[in-house]
């Protein structure tokens, strides 16, 4: 029998609850500890998920000797320090997207993980769901020929005061949800863009909505958008010179994907998601931990840093920076 991998959850907010719910679907995973900023927070979260170790600080969780891997679910502004703390305590780490505030931080943390020989991955769960894997397979096999254009966006309206709209916590649409359409563009083209043009409406220190066009070698284009104050369409399209792939919305948790080619009927494939979808990335992490791989091939650190560099360039064009970030040194 395969021994269970013992997880710790760092923070107790909504995304932590979603990840813990996904973990509970995996028979070879055990949530053994949670860390909160208060004992009450740890106790409430642990009670919901049946977690035995209830720590009143993040540091206590990082130093729990029974924990093998920690999921970091704090606000964007805290990712760097929290990940470094966990890595230096000897833990494998999965960090919620966006991985860090900028590419400098991402490179710094990645280098520490490599030096310490510890597993580290950005928790981009969308990359692991069945529909996105099917789309990837069609692109890689040449079903739509040369990819020429991608269209994708993630926009919703946040009515409350949350971390997603808090400048002090590195909020804003690009870091909150822009990473999703950027991931689809990366899946389609498989290389960084050569040119970037972008526009944003910035208010209260965050980009409330943004549009960005990425230009790739050979003439490829990605037309992307993000928003935290505007609801937008949720399909994604990957268009080639011999056909098109449609990830039925919302594409980041799509359960249907279509292949459309001239002269043929639409091929629609059902790709149901088991559980809430977070279980797929968790299972991928545990495969790596058991095999001794320090990075996952679908979400390597080099790819995370590459996409963070794109987001840095986009924010540079807007002149939008956060109080905690440094870009060098």
Q: What pLDDT does 257 receive?
A: 98
Cβ-Cβ contacts under 8 Å for 196 (sequence gap 6 or more): 212, 213, 214, 215, 310, 313, 314, 317
CA distance 118 to 234: 36
Q: pLDDT 10s digit of each residue in the chain, 329 long?
A: 678 999 999 999 999 999 999 999 999 999 999 999 999 999 999 999 999 999 999 999 999 999 999 999 999 999 999 999 999 999 999 999 999 999 999 999 999 999 999 999 999 999 999 999 999 999 999 999 999 999 999 999 988 767 889 999 999 999 999 999 999 999 999 999 999 999 999 999 999 999 999 999 999 999 999 999 999 999 999 999 999 999 999 999 999 999 999 999 999 999 999 999 999 999 999 999 999 999 999 999 999 999 999 999 999 999 999 999 887 65
CA angle 324, 328, 329 (to 5 degrees): 100
The answer to whether the CB of 118 falls within 8 A of the CB of 93 is: yes
Q: Is 17 helix (H, G, I), strand (E, B) or coil?
A: helix
CA distance 96 to 176: 10
CA distance 21 to 49: 8
Q: What pLDDT does 1 receive?
A: 61
Q: What pLDDT does 283 receive?
A: 98
Q: Is 220 helix (H, G, I), strand (E, B) or coil?
A: coil
CA distance 288 to 277: 18
The answer to whether the CB of 155 falls within 8 A of the CB of 225 is: yes
Q: Is 159 helix (H, G, I), strand (E, B) or coil?
A: coil
- Read off the DSSP letter of residue 241: T
Cα dihedral 241, 247, 249, 251 sign: negative
What CATH topology corresponds to 131-272+309-318?
Dihydrodipicolinate Reductase; domain 2 (3.30.360)
CA distance 28 to 36: 24
User: To which H or E segment does residue 60 belong?
Assistant: helix 58-62
CATH 3.30.360.10 in the chain is located at 131-272+309-318
pTM: 0.95
The answer to whether the CB of 33 falls within 8 A of the CB of 42 is: no
Q: What pLDDT does 143 receive?
A: 97
CATH code: domain 5-121 is 3.40.50.720
CA distance 47 to 55: 13
């Amino acid at each position: 029998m395969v021994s269970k991998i013992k997880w710790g959850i760092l923070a107790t907010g909504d995304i932590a609850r979603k990840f813990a719910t996904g973990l509970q679907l995996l028979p070879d995973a055990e949530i053994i500890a949670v860390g909160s900023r208060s004992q009450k927070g740890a106790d409430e979260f642990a009670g919901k998920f049946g977690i035995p170790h209830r720590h009143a600080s993040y540091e206590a969780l990082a130093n729990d000797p029974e924990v093998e891997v920690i999921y970091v679910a704090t606000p964007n502004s805290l990712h760097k320090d929290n990940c470094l703390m966990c890595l230096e305590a000897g833990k494998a780490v999965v960090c919620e997207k966006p991985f860090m505030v900028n590419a400098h931080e991402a490179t710094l943390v990645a280098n520490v993980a490599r030096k310490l020989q510890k597993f580290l991955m950005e928790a981009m769960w969308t990359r692991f769901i069945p529909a996105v894997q099917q789309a990837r397979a069609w692109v890689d096999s040449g079903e739509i020929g040369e990819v020429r254009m991608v269209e994708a966006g993630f926009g919703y309206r946040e009515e409350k005061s949350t971390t997603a709209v808090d400048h002090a916590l590195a909020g804003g649409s690009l870091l909150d949800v822009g990473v999703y359409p950027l991931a689809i563009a990366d899946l389609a083209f498989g290389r960084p863009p050569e040119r970037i043009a972008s526009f944003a409406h910035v208010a209260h220190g965050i980009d409330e909505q943004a549009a960005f066009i990425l230009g790739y070698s050979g003439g490829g284009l990605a037309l992307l958008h993000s928003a935290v104050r505007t609801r937008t369409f949720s399909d994604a399209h990957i268009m080639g010179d011999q056909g098109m792939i449609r990830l039925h919305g919302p594409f980041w948790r799509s359960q249907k994907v279509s292949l459309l080619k001239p002269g043929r009927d639409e091929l629609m494939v059902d790709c149901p998601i088991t559980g809430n979808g977070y279980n797929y990335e968790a299972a991928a992490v545990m495969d790596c931990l058991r095999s001794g791989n320090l990075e996952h091939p679908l979400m390597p650190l080099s790819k995370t840093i590459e996409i963070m560099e794109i987001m840095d360039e986009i924010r540079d064009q807007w002149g939008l920076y956060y109080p905690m970030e440094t870009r060098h040194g």
